[in-house]
Amino acid sequence: MTTTTSPPLVDLQRLVVAIRRRRRLWFTAALVGLLAGLALSVVMPSPPTAVTKLLVIHQNDSPTDSGTLMRTDIAVLGTTKIADAALKSLHSTESTDDFMKKYSGLGLTNNVMQITVEGSSADDATAKAKALGDAFIADHVQRNQAAADAEAAALVNQRNQAQAQLAQVDQQIATETGRGSKANATTLESLYSQRADLASKISDFNSQAQQAGIGSPQIAAGTQIVDAPRITPHSFLKTAATDGGIGLVLGLAIGLALAAVTAIVRDRPVLRREVSANLGASVIAQLPRRWLRRKKTAKARARLAATLVRIVRDDGGTVSLLDLGAPKVTAQLALDIAGTLAETARTVVIDDLPKRELTAAAGEPNFRIADGSEVLGAKEPGELRLGVGSVRPGTAWTDLSYLGKETVLVVRTGYANTAWLHTVARQLADCQITVIGIVLVDPDPKDRTDGTLWDGLHTALRGRAVAPKQSDETRKLQPVKVHTGTNGDGPTRRFAPVGSQED
């Protein structure tokens, strides 16, 4: 029993090959991103930036502080109160929200803050940095003084309460003393003790209130600008390199994503096994397409031409070349075949390519080139004919049988989608044109997939070499093997020639 598995939703091998084949796209995208970043650094240069450093003294400084106080100061620096105070000192009409986007604070240590400000000019940036520093220092000192005043007021309030209690105790003592001999000694002793305790508290509250009222002079004196505002130097080359690098990475990412998406959406087979399965024929050769491999292409084309020359000679010129996305390669291959055939026999090449690439590249051949629209007569004895046509969209399918009953498809990898490959295979089958092999043009050099269909030996090019040729008088066909394939439309029958039997 034959089991079939559904193809994966995304073939990773095909996706990687498709992305690699479209490297021109993502190289271009990366280059565009690089140029855009460089252009941005020229068109929109970095604005002048001023930097100043502040020494900030805190009331509750401690060696174990983890930076909480400085983070609080940075958060306060980013408030509208500080921004408004700085703008007011500058007499600026700039929006507070816009101004807040142009400066930032950074805690260098627990007590050192760095303020960075962007301005329209060097002087503007320096003035804004100083105004921000002064505004923060004033706010910091005012907040600490307000805290000290609040503490002093609380102590004074507690002192007043203690004084009121002392007045009540004094009145009770006077009342108890006025009773003369009837006065309770124990009560008087307790009242005297309370009075002494309250007097001590009032004295302490007075001292604490006076101390708190002084505030924290070390904070006011210590919190100051320790590094005057200055313009930070800008390196154009560094800025351009940074912007260009960011643009390069973004462009490359966009290019790779676009290549991956289009590879999935367009559904154009790029692997040998996919092209072979969709066209129903085996891959017999592959030819590089890039100009950097001209020698390798010419060598591979000559080897393939020699094989096809033998087929055309043996079968009397019934083989055609049909192009699908590589007309120039098809024309050159046809010229190689026709040139070799013309050395031993009269040869006619039928050029039915859409743009007559074969005629344009022929020069002065030693064979005849007939236009595809020309009606040729019957073949003369010994004459060989080679048809060259196309199966691209718009092909006149009924005219293909005129070029040959057997054909070799010259297919450019990634040119046609799956639906069109199925259309080509179906139309050729309807025209009773046998596809004996596929020549892949511009395949992926790292493609190691198998492009051979094992259930089509009776139509495959390799099937012609199963047994040696015999003369027409002694050759008969006898079925020797039947194989049912899973990819074909029916069983594949292979016949081998046997010698004639005597009557």
DSSP of 301-363, one letter per residue? HHHHHHHHHHHHHHHTS-EEEEEES-HHHHHHHHHHHHHHHTTTS-EEEEE--TT-HHHHHH-
Chain position carrying tokens 């495959």: 460
Q: Which pLDDT score, from 0 to 100, does residue 32 have?
A: 92
pLDDT at 429 over 80: yes
Q: What is the DSSP string of 199-241?
A: HHHHHHHHHHHHHHHH--HHHHHH-EEEEEEEEPP--HHHHHH
pLDDT at 9 over 70: no
Report the helix count and the strand count for the chain, using DSSP H and E. Answer: 15, 13
Q: Which amino acid would we find at residue 189?
A: E
Query: Across all residues in the chain, what is the average pLDDT?
Result: 79
- What is the pairing mode between strands 103-107 and 49-55? unpaired
Quote the Cα angle for 24-25-26, to 5°.
95
Mean pLDDT of 61-73: 81
* Dihedral sign (CA 424, 425, 429, 430): negative
Structure tokens, 461: 């090019």
Mean pLDDT of 290-302: 68
Mean pLDDT of 281-309: 76
Nearest residue to 28 via CA among 200, 251, 197, 233: 251
Torsional class of 424: left (φ above 0), alpha (ψ -120 to 50), beta (otherwise): alpha
Chain position carrying tokens 């094992």: 454
Distances in Å between the Cα of 37 and the Cα atoms of 118, 209, 239, 249, 380 are: 21, 63, 10, 10, 69
Picking from 57-66, 390-399, 481-490, which range would have the lowest pLDDT averaged per residue?
481-490
88 Cβ contact list (under 8 Å, min separation 6)? none
Nearest residue to 316 via CA among 472, 170, 458: 472
Q: Against a cut of 0.85, is the pTM above it?
A: no
Chain position carrying tokens 């003393």: 177
Three-state secondary structure call for residue 2:
coil
Burial, 393: exposed, middle or buried (Cβ in 10 Å; 0-12, 13-18, 19+)? exposed
Q: Which pLDDT score, from 0 to 100, does residue 410 have?
A: 92
- Tell which wins on pLDDT, 206 or 281: 281
Q: Which pLDDT score, from 0 to 100, does residue 183 have?
A: 67
277 Cβ contact list (under 8 Å, min separation 6)? 453, 487
- Tell which wins on pLDDT, 182 or 236: 236
CB 347 within 8 A of CB 338: yes
Please, how many CA atoms are within 13 Å of residue 384, restricted to the half-sphere of its CB?
25
Picking from 136-145, 278-287, 447-456, which range would have the lowest pLDDT averaged per residue?
447-456
Mean pLDDT of 92-116: 91
Mean pLDDT of 385-405: 86
Please, how many CA atoms are within 13 Å of residue 354, restricted to the half-sphere of its CB?
12
Burial, 463: exposed, middle or buried (Cβ in 10 Å; 0-12, 13-18, 19+)? middle
- Give the DSSP H/E element, type plus range, for residue 265: helix 236-266
The most distant pair of C-alpha atoms in the chain lies apart, rounded to whole Å, by 171
CB 389 within 8 A of CB 353: yes
236 Cβ contact list (under 8 Å, min separation 6)? 41, 45
Partners of residue 159 on adjacent β-strands:
none
Secondary structure letter of residue 6 according to DSSP: P
Q: Which amino acid would we find at residue 198?
A: L
Distances in Å between the Cα of 173 and the Cα atoms of 164, 176, 202, 263, 500 are: 14, 5, 19, 102, 153
Q: What share of the chain is helix, strand, coil (3-state, %, to 5)?
A: 50, 15, 30
Q: Which pLDDT score, from 0 to 100, does residue 460 have?
A: 67
Quote the Cα angle for 251-443-488, to 5°.
125
Mean pLDDT of 120-127: 90
Cβ-defined contacts of 8-13 (< 8 Å, 24+): 10/264, 13/271, 13/449
Q: Which pLDDT score, from 0 to 100, does residue 491 have?
A: 45
pLDDT at 51 over 90: yes
Chain position carrying tokens 């031993």: 344
